[in-house]
Chain A
Amino acid sequence: MTRRFALLMTFVLTFGTGMAAYASEGGEPLIRQSWSFNGPTGTYDRAALQRGYKIYREVCSACHSMKLVYYRNLEALGYNEEQIKNIAKDYTYMDGPNDEGEMFERPGLPSDPFKSPYENDKQAAAANNAVPPDLSLIAKARPGGPDYIFSLLTGFEEHPPEGHTLLPGQHWNHYMPGHVLAMAPPLSDGQVTYEDGTPQTLEQYARDVAQFLMWAADPYMEERKRTGIKVILFLLVFAGVMYTLKKKIWADAH
């Protein structure tokens, strides 16, 4: 019985995981980091998320939109209602039409999505050679997720290796599939001021913003894992009870 069970498990797991491994091609192997949210009980580091948001707000948001994230969602980073209202009202939104039929500008509200830097994709493309991708889901949309983001942000090379030439507006990166991208190195040491004494290095910035983007892509991860542990425990107990019951019922079967 145990042997057969082991066989069955192997079968299921082979099917489940073996085939899901899709390789990412064209870039170097990513730098694997240890993240606070790894593992079945992992959680987000709130301080790192706040620092990551600061980097997004001060640097990334100049070109990249995050249309799926709302200011109200920032509560999960540990900001209170008052702070969120203050953050949102720094941005101006076009609203309307009002009762006179006019469009009007108003300060942002917690119920607004993150303000996009461009009106539309054409404008974004015209300003950047290519449309900077929306970052709401980027950590899920790239193989390697946060490791990819960290590697990409720290993996720029000023001069491409021998035999490669770059066109104007192109940049060389070790981890970008195909190595060439339109984005210039966005972060450098000391660029963003941290108030909590965290080192202001490129590595630290990249780590923080990668965590923030992971949260943005998967805001329910903590709740999901917490629920998961309860569900698995429940199933374990239930299965144990059923196994005992099965033994008991089958005792007189043969």
Chain B
Amino acid sequence: MASGEREPFQNTVVEWIDSRMPIFTMLQKEYGVFPAPKNFNYFWNFGAIAMFMLATMIATGIVLAMHYTANTHMAFDSVERIMRDVNGGWLIRYIHMNGASFFFIAVYIHIFRGMYYGSYKKPRELLWILGALIFLLMMATAFMGYVLPWGQMSLWGATVITGFFTAIPYVGESIQTLLLGGFSVENPTLTRFFALHYLLPFVIFAVVFLHIWALHVTGSNNPLGIDTKGPQDTLPFHPYYTVKDTFGLLVFLMIYCVFIFFMPDILGHPDNYTKANPLVTPAHIVPEWYFLPFYAILRAITFNMNLYFIVGLVFLFVLIVEFIWRKKPVYLSASAGWAMLVIGGFLILTGFTGDSCQRIDPKWLDENGGFKGLCGALQSLPGMSAAAAPISAKLGGVLAMFGSVAMLFVLPWLDTHPVRSARYRPLYKLFFLLLVVMFLVLGYVGSQPADASLLGIPLIYLGLAGTGYYFGYFLVLLPLLSRFEKTKPLPESIHQAVLSKQIKVEAKI
């Protein structure tokens, strides 16, 4: 934003402003002639679409806040008043309600696009981290927003989610009390959630600004994942991408409007049209759909992690670091590695089996109420009881859930393969698409009751498998692929790739 060299504008008003504060020069530079790779596909629309959704949410949210009352006695009725008596209130509220879902749809596609084409790699790591931060802020904002209508799912969702914080040792209870402003979800919870739900979107807006700033320093990635090498590879942002983004946005809006006008409540939960009642618990409590994969990860950890299990896990992690992350092991010889693998695996099995024995069918108990055979032997080991486990199932779930979001933040250092785009990385492409499938499977698992099963298989196993793949993808597969994957030959330049594609198309015609 340097104000050094400046082309004067024809329009006198514009020129008057620009000579004092070169905002038009800046806009011209960043959105007018800004060079963008000429080979974007339609997946590159979703950044602009997400930006549009943020603006929509803020605009409708401010109007809703004018009519909403943050008080447990009045919140539910004030939302219904918006739906029934405020002029156009139903429209504003349905735009906002479904807008949350469509904001997440846009952002999920935006994130998966970034992963598929390696947009998080050098030099765009900071850009990516700012994006992950936006996602995290969005999750907090959406969660608090869902509490405001004060329906049954609002109350019970908030109760369940904040309840997980109590799993944190020593300070968990205090954190929960701080979040709730009391010992249960009550009026102080509602008022602080409202205040924060109003504040956070502006924080998101600020981080989006930083995100775009970082983008305009490094320039955009593109479907080929290769750097732009000169003007023949790029097009000015305007009019080429302004018109393409507008077209893509309109198609997105069409789908969004089908939901707003023809099935506005389908993405929500019927229970939220019943006023919150602390004395009646809904049959099964589910978060909004966009949290379901993370909710499934949270619930996938159904076992306590005792000392045996944790030490085994640490062994395994050391092995991953030494033999997979590093090109050459620093501290361990191969034989020590094998020994650690065997011992670690044995400890994990011992710890897991010992813990599982405590949740076992009573028919396995003998007459005196003790454990039989292997279970009995494992039970007699010190530190095996659930109470002695440093990481309870609940804490394990919370760690897994936060860990799954944390993976996004460290992704640039887990995948260090020099080739960005999955187009030239067949193995990466396969594993990535599997990750997307697993993510959707986790979403399905999250939507079902904890004890549900599919084709006779209890869903908790599916959830655990999905969680395992999710972490395996980031911690093991990506570092391995970074070292060993052979790639297809990269094109010389964007320009040439585009030209040869055109020639192919013309040959077909």
The 0/1 profile, CB within 8 Å of B marked 1, for residues 121-164 of chain A is 00000000000010011001111010000000000000000000
Which residue of the partner chain, among A4, A141, A242, contacts B270 with CB atoms under 8 Å? A141
Secondary structure type dominating chain B contacts: helix
B247 neighbours in A (Cβ, 8 Å): 239, 242-243, 245-246
Cβ B255 vs Cβ A16 within 8 A: yes
A89 at the interface (CB under 8 A from B): no
The 0/1 profile, CB within 8 Å of A marked 1, for residues 223-256 of chain B is 0000000000001000110011011001111110
A47 neighbours in B (Cβ, 8 Å): none
B262 neighbours in A (Cβ, 8 Å): 40, 225, 228
Cβ A235 vs Cβ B447 within 8 A: no
Cβ A22 vs Cβ B269 within 8 A: yes
Which residue of the partner chain, among A8, A17, A232, A249, contacts B257 with CB atoms under 8 Å? A232
Q: Shortest Cβ distance from B139 into chain A, in angstroms? A: 16
Which residue of the partner chain, among B108, B266, B284, B498, contacts A254 with CB atoms under 8 Å? B498
Cβ B243 vs Cβ A235 within 8 A: no
A189 at the interface (CB under 8 A from B): no
A254 with B499, Cβ < 8 A, contacts A19-B443, A239-B247, A242-B250 known? yes
A242 with B246, Cβ < 8 A, contacts A12-B255, A22-B286, A254-B499 known? yes
| Cα–Cα distance between A25 and B449 once the two chains are bound (Å) | 10
The 0/1 profile, CB within 8 Å of A marked 1, for residues 250-274 of chain B is 1111110111111011110111011
Cβ B38 vs Cβ A253 within 8 A: yes
Which residue of the partner chain, among A12, A14, A16, A253, contacts B235 with CB atoms under 8 Å? A253
B91 neighbours in A (Cβ, 8 Å): 224, 227
| Cα–Cα distance between A250 and B449 once the two chains are bound (Å) | 50
Cβ B250 vs Cβ A141 within 8 A: no
A235 with B109, Cβ < 8 A, contacts A228-B261, A253-B240 known? no
Q: Shortest Cβ distance from A134 into chain B, in angstroms? A: 8
Cβ A249 vs Cβ B243 within 8 A: yes
B41 at the interface (CB under 8 A from A): yes
Query: Which residues, 197 to 254 on A, are CB-close (under 8 Å) to B?
Result: 217, 219-220, 224-225, 227-229, 231-232, 235-236, 238-239, 242-243, 245-246, 249-250, 253-254
Cβ B240 vs Cβ A140 within 8 A: no
Nearest A residue to B41, CB-CB = A4
Cβ A232 vs Cβ B258 within 8 A: yes
Q: Shortest Cβ distance from B452 into chain A, in angstroms? A: 9
Cβ B257 vs Cβ A141 within 8 A: no
B273 neighbours in A (Cβ, 8 Å): 137, 140-141, 217
Which residue of the partner chain, among B250, B270, B271, contacts A235 with CB atoms under 8 Å? B250
A104 at the interface (CB under 8 A from B): no
Secondary structure type dominating chain A contacts: helix
B77 neighbours in A (Cβ, 8 Å): 68
Cβ A19 vs Cβ B502 within 8 A: no
Cβ A228 vs Cβ B257 within 8 A: yes
A107 at the interface (CB under 8 A from B): no
Query: Which residues, 101 to 140 on B, are CB-close (under 8 Å) to A?
Result: 101, 105, 108-109
| Cα–Cα distance between A235 and B477 once the two chains are bound (Å) | 43
A231 with B257, Cβ < 8 A, contacts A8-B42, A15-B108, A68-B77 known? yes
| Cα–Cα distance between A81 and B279 once the two chains are bound (Å) | 41
A68 neighbours in B (Cβ, 8 Å): 77, 80, 84
B266 neighbours in A (Cβ, 8 Å): 17, 20
A26 with B283, Cβ < 8 A, contacts A20-B266, A143-B270, A243-B247 known? yes
A18 neighbours in B (Cβ, 8 Å): 440, 444
B198 at the interface (CB under 8 A from A): no
Query: Size of chain B's interface in residues, with CB distance under 8 A?
Result: 56
| Cα–Cα distance between A40 and B251 once the two chains are bound (Å) | 19
Cβ B270 vs Cβ A231 within 8 A: no
| Cα–Cα distance between A34 and B253 once the two chains are bound (Å) | 30
Which residue of the partner chain, among A12, A20, A238, contacts B250 with CB atoms under 8 Å? A238
Which residue of the partner chain, among A25, A137, A231, A246, contacts B261 with CB atoms under 8 Å? A231
Cβ A239 vs Cβ B250 within 8 A: yes
| Cα–Cα distance between A214 and B350 once the two chains are bound (Å) | 57
A254 with B271, Cβ < 8 A, contacts A17-B266, A22-B447, A249-B240 known? no
B447 neighbours in A (Cβ, 8 Å): 19, 21-22
The 0/1 profile, CB within 8 Å of B marked 1, for residues 170-192 of chain A is 00000001000000000000000
Question: Which residue, A19, A177, A236, A242, has most C-beta atoms of chain B within 10 A?
Answer: A19
Cβ B443 vs Cβ A245 within 8 A: no
Q: Shortest Cβ distance from A42 into chain B, in angstroms? A: 10
B90 at the interface (CB under 8 A from A): yes
Cβ B108 vs Cβ A137 within 8 A: no
Which residue of the partner chain, among B258, B261, B271, contacts A141 with CB atoms under 8 Å? B271
Cβ A16 vs Cβ B259 within 8 A: yes
B317 at the interface (CB under 8 A from A): no
B289 at the interface (CB under 8 A from A): yes
Cβ B243 vs Cβ A242 within 8 A: yes
Question: Which residue, A9, A18, A22, has most C-beta atoms of chain B within 10 A?
Answer: A22
Nearest B residue to A248, CB-CB = B243
| Cα–Cα distance between A132 and B102 once the two chains are bound (Å) | 36
B435 at the interface (CB under 8 A from A): no
Other than A14-B440, A17-B266, give 13 A-B pairs with Cβ distance below 8 A. Answer: A4-B41, A9-B255, A137-B80, A140-B270, A141-B273, A224-B261, A227-B261, A228-B262, A235-B253, A235-B257, A239-B250, A249-B239, A250-B240
20 A-B contacts (beta carbon < 8 Å): A8-B42, A11-B109, A12-B252, A16-B259, A17-B266, A19-B444, A20-B289, A22-B286, A136-B80, A140-B270, A219-B84, A227-B91, A228-B260, A232-B254, A235-B250, A238-B250, A249-B243, A250-B243, A253-B38, A253-B235
List of 8 A-B pairs having minimum Cβ-Cβ separation, nearest first: A228-B261, A141-B273, A239-B250, A19-B289, A242-B247, A140-B273, A137-B273, A220-B90
Q: Which residues of B contact A (CB under 8 A)?
A: 38, 41-43, 77, 80, 83-84, 90-91, 94, 101, 105, 108-109, 235, 239-240, 243-244, 246-247, 250-255, 257-262, 264-267, 269-271, 273-274, 283-284, 286, 289, 292, 440, 443-444, 447, 449, 498-499, 502
